[in-house]
Chain A
């Protein structure tokens, strides 16, 4: 599959748009459909597409395992950290309205970071599961 010219060209054309669409879904989730979970999955799908066409080792060079494992943990920590931040600023756990002087701005700020945390964790886990499965297929690993 890695030598198929058509697949390589189409992948090269499509992957930037898939990644861009993932970012759109992430940052437009407040206004339209989508959010952190969908964005994380779409971003992971773009990278998996790359891995399917250009090979797993190429994808590993773009996003190494260490980065993926860090993303998995950072996402949950970011989410919980926003919750703890609300407590420090005088609210309850996961209260967003204390994050800014204007309570509605505080809500928006909280939702933004929380969605980013969800996206990081979901993207990391999807990619990690794919890498683990794909690596079992090759005998040299």
Chain B
């Protein structure tokens, strides 16, 4: 039943991607991008990755869509016809997809408890977390405590992204010297 739901969601995502490729109306493309993100969030939810699903829904479908609409406000809403047929890009995309699919064959089966990634630190987190941190949500304990350095790095990356946008888009008013 679970795999049926996930399969149908993935099929809907495929349809969305085809529609995005075919459409020349950029407003429609942005809305479809939001639909794609919501479908992705639902797939992650069905895979029991609720934390990631929440992030995907709020960032992918929410904030990104708003930012893209803001960008669309500054430009025309119809994509112009390409001057030449993008065969090279198509070839590279197909080759990359084929390479990734070939690599996927070598991956362990989904949720296989004997997979290599579940043999290293995961048993330690699951066994020792109740004694060491005692939080009901292991994800929070791993993110904030065991992997605190990584999360500090991620926060710094987000901060740097904000500073970069400020540096690029800030415009000083002439005369007053005050920035908006």
Contacts and interface: CB of A to CB of B under 8 A. Distances in A.
A75 interface: yes
A54 interface: no
* Chain B interface, DSSP helix/strand/loop, else mixed: helix
A121 B132 contact: no
Interface string A128-141: 11101111110001
B152 A35 contact: no
Contact of A29 (B134, B140, B169): B140
B158 A122 contact: yes
B74 interface: yes
Given A107-B145, A108-B135, A38 B180 contact: no
Given A30-B137, A33-B54, A130-B63, A124 B145 contact: no
A130 B133 contact: no
Interface string A99-133: 00001100110110011011001101110111011
B17 interface: no
A39 B154 CA distance: 15
Interface residues of B, number: 45
Contacts of A19: none
Contacts of B73: 137
20 contacts: A32-B136, A33-B50, A37-B154, A38-B51, A41-B62, A44-B63, A45-B62, A48-B63, A76-B156, A94-B152, A96-B148, A104-B133, A110-B144, A110-B148, A111-B144, A114-B148, A115-B144, A125-B158, A129-B67, A130-B67
